[in-house]
Structure 1
Amino acid sequence: MSTLTSPEKTFFGHPRALSTLFFVEMWERFSYYGMRALLVLYLVQPLTDQNPGLGIDDGVAKAIYGSYAGLVYLTPVAGGWIADRLIGLRRAVLYGGIVIAAGHFLMAVPAEGTFWLGLVAIALGTGLLKPNISGMVGKLYTEGDDKRDAGFSLFYMGINIGSFAAPLICGGLGQQYDWHLGFGVAGIGMTLGLVQYAIGRRRLHGVGDEPDMPATAAERRSMWVIAVVVVVLVGALVGLFSLLGQPPVTAVTSSVTVLILLVPIWYFWRVLRTSRESDDPRARPKVTAFIWLFLGAAVFWMIFEQSGSTLSLFADNVTNLAVTSGFSIPASWLQSINPMFIVIFAPVFSAIWLRWGERAPRTPVKFALALLIVGASFLLLIVPMSAYQDDGTKATVWWLVVVYLLQTWGELLLSPNGLSATTRLAPQGALGQFLALWFLATSVGTTVGGQIAAATSSDPVLSFAVCGGMAVAFGVVMFTAVRRINALMGEVH
């Protein structure tokens, strides 16, 4: 396998190959966030509307969104293994992009059956693409390169350029004209990303062409057994929840939630067992440190990923979106606020980390601050939500602007730095799998957040208080454990 040992500083001081990955991920995020901006709004839109949706209850829609988004970040567990052990990072990204594009085009068909099938395809394709393109970014830098964090911050800015444009284009078309038109335009975005990937292949210089640790025949058979067990387990859970009286859709979301919670427990048990047998004495402490980061990230995304559900419905139902007497902005447009702030502040944070160098706060401190900030953002919404419940007073859009600003700062403290730390804490030959686990933290947080939002749907103030309070509490816990976590991480900053 070839790696870049002397990066050519041709893309803002970073390897030129970063530009290829930057634009591929930008278009992939355009496709995903374009669909995401419409998903819950389409689910709850009445069947009798001029632009009809599926007419699903708000609470059920939040649970569906949480479980689906959880699946999007669960599938990278398999996608990382497939890349590491079977086909390599580069092919995994290519095949994943093809499946994602197909999923969006299925959702563009005005039929409920193809809509659900498209969602499944996007979840599967994202599992192949999402962890492995980040793994390729990590391989562009040598171990100990101070530019690594800055490179991930730049990569993260590319993600959010696509995320900014998507709600404006796909959201506007979907809400104002036809939902399926919006879904189709999202598919065009992923197709453009695939074209970019093919054009820029030579810049990668062989990075990710081959699997790091090819699987044996026995390991391949084991993975098929695991796949069958997962399918049987989900089917059994759906049957159990149905017997307990849950409607079919709710039974599926509950089953997915249980599966998502079981996977990291099983996975970390295996990783810890393997690290115990490793010749590297630092392997097990680093895995333990990563568990701390995993838990912190899960709590963070529990709140942050409700942007597409709880905050989207807050914008649609509680926020005054009127610009003039004859025009109101679509609620989906407000989901462009966070990526807009990312584009503004990502270079600022990147410059700060470069300027501070070794004096910058270590990753656990950044995580603790991020949790306090994102928790405060939800606690803040108790004020306008209480006023709306008391007398029907609609909130000004500035409440959501401030919330998204706080969440942006928290995201920039946690996400790019956590992603970078993951690539350095991963044991030899397990980079793709550890990056999959990093995204699995989003899966756990998102699905738990969806269940909390669904359970408290009748009392949004309680929902904001529970989620915000949990984040603040865990942020305080991480602050008290900073020295312990730093010791476990060793030389990883």
Structure 2
Amino acid sequence: MSQNSTDQFFKSNVLGHPSGLFVLFFTEMWERFSFYGMRSLLIMFFTASLADGGWEWSRETASALFGSYVGLVYLSTMLGGYFADKVIGFRWAVILGAFLMTLGHAAMAVETHFSIYLGLVLLVFGNGFFKPNMVSIISEMYKDRPEKKDGAYTLFYMGVNAGAFFGILLCGYLGEKVGWGYGFGLAGIFMFFGMIQFWLSQRIFGDIGLKPNKESKAKIAASDDDKRNPFSSWQLVVIAVSVVLGLLWVINAPVSKISGGKIDVFGFLGSNGNSTAILTALGLFIILLIYRFTQYSKITREKLMAVTFFAFIVIFFWAIFEQSPNSLTIFAKDYTNRVLEGSWSTTYLVVNSLMTILPLAIITWLMLKMFRQTFNSYAVANIILSLSFVIIWSIAIWILIKDYYTAGVLSLSDSTLDLLKIDKVATPLTEVPATWFSTLNSLFIISLAPLFSKWWESKYNPRATVKYGIGMLFLGLGMACVAIGASGIEPGAKTASVSMIWLILVYLFHTMGELCISPVGLSYVSKLVPARMIAFMFGVWYLAVAIGMKSAGIFGENIDKIADEHGLSYFFWLLTIISVSMALFSILMSPIIKKLMHGVR
């Protein structure tokens, strides 16, 4: 039996999957905790008044920087994927990425202008090394069990969203209620825990992800029947020009707004200089992509075309889905009635308690099941993981006690308040944090991911394009809900008191759409792409995500302009129409894409 055979990893299993998957599960969970915890605060921090510790930026400027940041996060995965493939291996890339992100969050906790910008730069590069290589390890672990990949990626995605849920819940709460630096700093603490746990448990992956050498490269080449097509000089020049133009555009978009137009790299091209630059970059990239397709064998070419189609749909999905930390957070903060009284206050406290305790209990149960399989071999790593759970349980319980006291449900003595570092309040009040609504996405994923995983493994598993169509329809349905909720808001209104139910419905439908698209998309890349291209193609996939993320920021930049002229509801109806149109396009393309996939499901 080969040392890297699938059977080796399935000898020690949890819920029918290798124990190594759950090492990755918890490592990714803490990384997503840090990423989403910080991200949930970013727009609010930038737009908060100086008196509240923010920078008092306009929504347009904040959205521009936010879109560029998340776009660069995913663009950097191409760099991380390349270095992992060619130089340092998947494992060292993950560790380096985690280290850079730990430093980034620590810098942001300082809250100076320099430290915030430095932190964002470190987080961009850290994510670039970390993100594509986690899924690459999973791809290798399941290379002989393709029928299990959809379920594995969906479970892994459950870990992603468990981290996002607790990150938004805890970092968001501390940032809004205690201080921005506390929210940013907590994100870094758990990123550090994730890095240590992965480092101490990495032997569980056998030879997967080690630094590439001549022998490993030869094995990959021998397993790949397709001819190799190295980039020629002119292709490298086209790539360089596209990359430089794209990066300058992404960076220049917020910088020109922050500087009030004093710094504008493309100013010499006129008022539409930014648009001219990015359209040129995209045009060159598309020409190169089409040419590259002609250089591969027919089957490989058609599979890569299928991946490109899915990537195209993904751009629109993320551009609309990522309104969550942007326009939907603005909607929650300024246009939603978040103050609760009487029975509604009690209901929220109970629901929030269950939302906090039950998912944490489920994830703790998964941790214990992994311990039974791995503790003897990886005791120190498991102890580190246990310590992180003790801390997160402590913070979660502290927040719940504080909420019950603030609402007047729980009485605490002055000495207890001092011990728990809780400020005394004169008037009981229950106000739902604006970031709280973003936790619903992760909560729904934790609840629904096992059901979708079983669906994908059953005989009723739909075609890839149908999954994408269903996902885009759910996305459109969610946007239609918030559009209906905003229908009574007059054009130009800066505040309103819309019922919270509309935001709850948005996140429910968007979650179901996400489960149809995001985790299975990663699975299709791993199934359709030749082994020697896997990490790089994950990088290309994240390029499409990056375009979607930056597009989300562009949508957010224009929300005030559209709302002032046509009303806020009009803005969300536009996003609904785009979602439904892409859903119909994906379903109509189903027969063509099925042929291009050559039997891959």
Report the TM-score when normalising by structure 2. Answer: 0.74
Q: Does the residue aligned with 2:535 lie in a helix, a strand or coil?
A: helix
Whether contact under 8 Å (1:37, 1:332) holds in the other structure is yes
Aligned partner of 1:368 among 469, 494, 502: 469
| Structure 1 residues 249 and 414: alpha-carbon distance in aligned structure 2, compared to 1, 3 A threshold | farther
| 113-122 or 227-236, larger mean C-alpha shift | 227-236
| 219-228 or 309-318, larger mean C-alpha shift | 219-228
Aligned partner of 1:28 among 27, 31, 43: 31
Q: Which amino acid aligns with 1:382?
A: A
Aligned partner of 1:482 among 562, 582, 590: 590
1: CA distance, partners of 2:37 / 2:487: 30
Q: Does 1:97 align with 2:98?
A: yes
| Structure 1 residues 122 and 272: alpha-carbon distance in aligned structure 2, compared to 1, 3 A threshold | same
Aligned partner of 1:455 among 545, 553, 558: 558
Aligned partner of 2:45 among 35, 42, 45: 42
Deviations 1:17-61, CA, capped at 9 Å, x for gaps: 111111110000000011011000001001123xx1010001221
For residue 401 of structure 1, what is the aligned residue in structure 2? Answer: 504
For residue 181 of structure 2, what is the aligned residue in structure 1? Answer: 180
2: CA distance, partners of 1:224 / 1:334: 45
Q: Does 1:468 align with 2:486?
A: no
- Superposition RMSD in Å: 3.3
1: CA distance, partners of 2:93 / 2:277: 24
Aligned partner of 2:17 among 2, 14, 19: 14
Query: What stretches of structure 1 move > 4 A for 4+ residues in a row?
Result: 212-215, 218-246, 248-272, 390-393
1: CA distance, partners of 2:254 / 2:185: 34
Q: Which amino acid aligns with 2:311?
A: F
For residue 151 of structure 1, what is the aligned residue in structure 2? Answer: 152
| 265-274 or 201-210, larger mean C-alpha shift | 265-274
Report 1:340-359 matches (<5 A).
340-356=443-459, 359=460
Q: CA deviation at 1:143?
A: 4.2
Q: CA deviation at 1:275?
A: 4.3
Q: Which amino acid aligns with 1:124?
A: F
Q: Which amino acid aligns with 2:201?
A: G
For residue 247 of structure 1, what is the aligned residue in structure 2? Answer: 260
Q: CA deviation at 1:265?
A: 5.7
Q: Does the residue aligned with 2:146 lie in a helix, a strand or coil?
A: coil
Whether contact under 8 Å (2:246, 2:278) holds in the other structure is no
Q: CA deviation at 1:63?
A: 2.1
1: CA distance, partners of 2:545 / 2:429: 40
| 404-413 or 196-205, larger mean C-alpha shift | 196-205
Deviations 1:221-271, CA, capped at 9 Å, x for gaps: 998997798458755897899999983599589999887777666556545
Deviations 1:281-325, CA, capped at 9 Å, x for gaps: 311101111111011111111111111111111111111111336
2: CA distance, partners of 1:387 / 1:316: 17
Q: Does the residue aligned with 1:307 lie in a helix, a strand or coil?
A: coil
| Structure 1 residues 99 and 198: alpha-carbon distance in aligned structure 2, compared to 1, 3 A threshold | same
| Structure 1 residues 262 and 82: alpha-carbon distance in aligned structure 2, compared to 1, 3 A threshold | farther
Larger radius of gyration: 2
Q: CA deviation at 1:376?
A: 2.0
Report 1:60-71 matches (<5 A).
60-71=61-72
Whether contact under 8 Å (2:109, 2:184) holds in the other structure is yes
Q: Which amino acid aligns with 1:26?
A: M
Q: CA deviation at 1:162?
A: 0.6
Q: Which amino acid aligns with 2:26?
A: F
Q: Does 1:296 align with 2:313?
A: yes
Deviations 1:74-129, CA, capped at 9 Å, x for gaps: 11111111111222111111111111111111101120111011111101110111
| 339-348 or 463-472, larger mean C-alpha shift | 463-472
1: CA distance, partners of 2:592 / 2:238: 38
Q: CA deviation at 1:3?
A: 3.2
Q: Does 1:435 align with 2:538?
A: yes
For residue 53 of structure 1, what is the aligned residue in structure 2? Answer: 54
1: CA distance, partners of 2:263 / 2:312: 26
Deviations 1:311-365, CA, capped at 9 Å, x for gaps: 1111111111113361202111221110000000001111222232xx4101111
Q: Does the residue aligned with 1:387 lie in a helix, a strand or coil?
A: coil
Q: Does 1:277 align with 2:280?
A: no
Aligned partner of 1:410 among 490, 513, 521: 513
Q: Which amino acid aligns with 1:386?
A: S
| Structure 1 residues 220 and 196: alpha-carbon distance in aligned structure 2, compared to 1, 3 A threshold | farther
Q: Which amino acid aligns with 2:147?
A: D
Q: Does 1:380 align with 2:481?
A: yes
Identity of aligned residues (%): 32
Q: Does the residue aligned with 2:298 lie in a helix, a strand or coil?
A: coil
2: CA distance, partners of 1:461 / 1:177: 33
| Structure 1 residues 347 and 327: alpha-carbon distance in aligned structure 2, compared to 1, 3 A threshold | same
Q: Does 1:321 align with 2:338?
A: yes
| Structure 1 residues 128 and 268: alpha-carbon distance in aligned structure 2, compared to 1, 3 A threshold | farther
Q: Does the residue aligned with 2:110 lie in a helix, a strand or coil?
A: coil
| Structure 1 residues 319 and 471: alpha-carbon distance in aligned structure 2, compared to 1, 3 A threshold | same
| Structure 1 residues 249 and 304: alpha-carbon distance in aligned structure 2, compared to 1, 3 A threshold | farther
Q: Does 1:389 align with 2:407?
A: no
| Structure 1 residues 227 and 110: alpha-carbon distance in aligned structure 2, compared to 1, 3 A threshold | farther
Q: Does the residue aligned with 1:381 lie in a helix, a strand or coil?
A: helix
Aligned residues: 487
Q: Does the residue aligned with 1:368 lie in a helix, a strand or coil?
A: helix
1: CA distance, partners of 2:99 / 2:202: 16
Deviations 1:144-180, CA, capped at 9 Å, x for gaps: 5311110111100011111110111111111111101
For residue 168 of structure 2, what is the aligned residue in structure 1? Answer: 167
2: CA distance, partners of 1:40 / 1:297: 23
Whether contact under 8 Å (1:21, 1:133) holds in the other structure is yes
Q: Which amino acid aligns with 1:45?
A: A
| Structure 1 residues 2 and 256: alpha-carbon distance in aligned structure 2, compared to 1, 3 A threshold | farther
Whether contact under 8 Å (1:315, 1:331) holds in the other structure is yes
Q: Does the residue aligned with 2:208 lie in a helix, a strand or coil?
A: coil
1: CA distance, partners of 2:3 / 2:276: 40
Whether contact under 8 Å (1:44, 1:56) holds in the other structure is yes
| Structure 1: runs of 5 or more not aligned | none
2: CA distance, partners of 1:65 / 1:80: 23
2: CA distance, partners of 1:469 / 1:491: 32
